[in-house]
Chain A
Amino acid sequence: MYDIIVVGGGPAGLSAAITARQRGKSVAVVTNDASGSGLYRAGQVRNYPGLPDISGADLLDKLREHAESMGASVINERVLAIAPADGAVGVSRATDVSRAAAVILAIGAAQSSVFPGEAEFLGRGVSYCATCDGMFFRGKRVCVVMRAPDAESEAEYLESIGCEVVRLSPRDMTINGARTVESVTADGETVRCAGVFILRRTIAPASLAAGVELRGGHIGTDEAMRASLPGVFAAGDCAGPPYQIAKAAGQGQIAALSAAGYIDGGGGL
């Protein structure tokens, strides 16, 4: 049990972790490995105040070092789902479930829209989690859409339990079937399969936190960065534009102060 779990290790999430530690809260940041993120690969960041020529990679490394030096734990793992229950918020990772008094979502903006058929066949062949749903596809052919750093390990897991895996990195894809998935058409080529595992770097907010209120595709928040679920806050790109690092860091701080206030039973800020 942590006081606060931060989902996402970009500027918003790490800034939130730093402020939460300053408020004496125990904090875990659960995140993809930073390398491979858009910011990590960005060259120079020119508009972050006070650090005019820092590279995206250096900025992320410094933010992480800062958060860790303050006592935040950084866990490199995929978060599958969060759900409020029992007066806390449960956070499911691939290998474990943790609970926190509050959760801050700093998951970035989804880079890709959903594929035609994806929502319709969710739970009927479309899955976002090999370790959860792989067993239903033993002895069958599945496609894995490789858009996340851990996609290869998920594909290998599916092979290890007896699935025939077709790895795809399509630009366009349509998911076809009647009641359940029967094939996908990826960049014009149709592959017959019983399931398709779609592994993106960023999970759509509605899949990660079912029932959270959205506003224009982003997580809807109030001025204290509270989302619509109890104990859940959001900051950074996932809370809407502008997609700027300074704004993300500022929102992360607000979210952490609000979360600390929520835990202490006060009004937040």
Chain B
Amino acid sequence: MAISHLTAETFDGAIRSGAVIVDFWADWCRPCKLLAPVMDELEAEYGGKVSFAKVDVDACGELAARYEVMSIPTVILFRNGAEIKRFIGAQPKSAYREALASA
């Protein structure tokens, strides 16, 4: 599995079933660059059980608005389409791991 890049067209279908963790990011956001390798490591660990995705808020402003993302990086964990956990700012790997382990 790899980290998929979602758009307004693909987003709803992608989060509809199972556990999906979505990283809202943008190219101009330096702290987002801290988070990218953390997400890669987590994907290697949990990719079999949880789908990993990214949303470029620059390209998909309407998705950011819909989820009231007003600070990036914001990471949202969805289960069957419903938000179950939100992380604001670059958090340590252990914080995401805890949520993913019980996702």
Contacts and interface: CB of A to CB of B under 8 A. Distances in A.
A135 B86 CA distance: 20
Interface string A198-214: 00000000010011000
B74 interface: yes
A132 B72 contact: yes
A153 to B, nearest CB: 16
Contacts of B89: 81, 122-123, 207, 210
A137 B65 CA distance: 11
A210 B86 CA distance: 14
B92 A86 contact: no
Given A85-B93, A92-B90, A132 B68 contact: no
B34 A133 contact: no
Interface of B: 26, 28-35, 37-38, 41, 57-58, 64, 68-72, 74, 86, 88-95
Contacts of B30: 80, 92-97, 131-132
B34 A85 contact: yes
A92 B58 CA distance: 20
B95 A210 contact: yes
B70 A81 contact: no
A120 to B, nearest CB: 11
A180 B70 contact: yes
A123 B37 contact: no
Given A85-B34, A136-B69, A210-B89, 16 more contacts: A92-B33, A95-B30, A96-B30, A97-B30, A97-B33, A122-B88, A124-B68, A126-B71, A129-B71, A132-B28, A132-B72, A133-B70, A133-B72, A135-B26, A180-B70, A211-B94
Contact of A136 (B38, B64, B86): B64
